[in-house]
Amino acid sequence: MQIDLRIRHVNLASSLRSYVERRLRHELRWLGNRIGQVRVWLSDVNGPRGGSDNHCRISLRLDPLGTVTAEGTDPDLLVSISRAVKRLARVLDHRLDRRLLAVASELDQIGIAEK
């Protein structure tokens, strides 16, 4: 999995980059090497105006599902990253479940039933 991290209005220490990578690898390990590039955008929603709403957006491409995106926002940047990663995992799980149900339905229609 190749991770492309893009940052706007956020001070990013190398330990934070490692945190993003660890969270993604942990939550998405069940997909193995089916994931190519993952893009992560981190930003301070309020920017230079002040306040602390940190936003994390994660987008990845997974065949045959296409591009899947999830987001998280929280005053704590680590929490916003965790929320986005967990949402992404749930979306992928849900879409793959639906796809498996569709395949099972197609197999049933052509007479290949599980015995």
Q: Which residues contact 14 (CB under 8 A, 6 or more apart)?
A: none
> Domains plus CATH for the chain?
2-109 (3.30.160.100)
Q: Please say if the pLDDT value at position 105 is more than 60.
A: yes
The mean per-residue pLDDT over the stretch 62-83 comes to: 89
pTM, full prediction:
0.78
User: Strand, helix or coil at 50?
Assistant: coil
Interval 20-67: pLDDT, tens: 989 998 998 888 777 878 999 988 887 666 666 889 999 998 877 788
| pLDDT recorded at residue 8 | 74
Q: At 68, list the tokens.
A: 């899947």
How far, in Å, CA of 88 to CA of 54, rounded?
17
User: Strand, helix or coil at 31?
Assistant: helix
How far, in Å, CA of 85 to CA of 20, rounded?
9
